[in-house]
Amino acid sequence: MSPFVSLNRAGKLVDFFRVLLGKDVVVRIYTRPPSQQSGSLSEHAEQVINQFENLGSKVIQRKGMHQKIAIIDGKIAWEGSLNILSHKDTQEQMRRFEGENAVQEIARNLELDKVESGSSAGKLCPRCFEEGIEINLVQKQGRYGIFWGCPRFPACRYTENISRRRRN
Ligand SMILES: [Zn+2]
């Protein structure tokens, strides 16, 4: 997760990502939509996003996100003040967290796990969208069957019926 991306910095990482993706490693990048970046930065952001998408990594745009974190293999997390994809000679710090439990908790807090789990048809939660949060609805199992629900529950209680396709 890097709210901001720059051509310079991302360009240095592109080759690493290319190697990882070549080994079937899943790479997900969270960043702010280019429209939330100013001036030439927003053009750069668009280019960087295209670049990573063309490589085959998934780029998730989250409005107003500010977290800076890297999660590696679900076991290691680096979290701090550094914009991983845009920094340049800045004095920032990152702390390393290790262990699946700690990392899972971080992912949960960031709602990263929920975006990945559950089958999602890419339906954005309309209520969260109004608050500037782009998050996909996920299928949930309730007392009366499965339904679309917002992964931010209980903060957001939006639900939607799943058009029924009964298995008989
Ligand atoms: Zn929601």
C-alpha to C-alpha distance for 168 and 1, rounded to whole angstroms = 43
pLDDT at 61: 86
C-alpha 152 – ligand 1 centre gap (Å): 6
Q: 2 in a domain, yes or no?
A: no
pLDDT at 118: 38
CA distances from 2 to 20, 22, 127, 135 (A): 18, 22, 24, 17
Q: Which pLDDT does position 163 carry in this prediction?
A: 65
Question: Residue 1 domain-assigned?
Answer: no
17 and 95 inside one domain: yes
- Determine the pLDDT at residue 117: 38
Q: Are residues 108 and 48 in the same domain?
A: yes
Q: Are residues 21 and 94 in the same domain?
A: yes
| Reported pTM | 0.64
Task: Tell me the DSSP string of 90-102.
Answer: ----EEEEESHHH
Q: From ligand 1's centre to the CA of 11, what distance in Å?
A: 34
Output DSSP code: residue 9.
H
149 CA distance to ligand 1 middle (Å): 8
Does residue 166 form part of some domain? no
Indicate the number of domains in the chain.
Answer: 2
Report how far ligand 1's centroid is from the alpha carbon of 119 (Å).
16
For residue 160, how far is its CA from the centre of ligand 1 (angstroms)?
11
Distance 58 CA to ligand 1 centre (A): 21
How far away, in angstroms, is 144 Cα from ligand 1 center? 20
CA of 129 to the centre of ligand 1 (A): 7
Q: What is the whole-number distance in angstroms between the Cα of residue 153 and the centre of ligand 1?
A: 7
pLDDT value of residue 158: 92
28 and 72 housed in the same domain:
yes
Q: Same structural domain for residues 90 and 26?
A: yes
* Per-residue tens of pLDDT for the chain, all 168 residues: 988 888 888 888 888 899 998 888 888 899 988 888 777 888 888 999 999 988 888 888 888 888 899 999 989 999 999 888 887 777 888 999 999 998 888 888 887 755 443 334 467 888 988 888 888 888 888 887 888 889 899 999 999 887 655 554
Domain holding 106, by residue range, is 7-115
Two structure tokens written together for 156: 């957001």
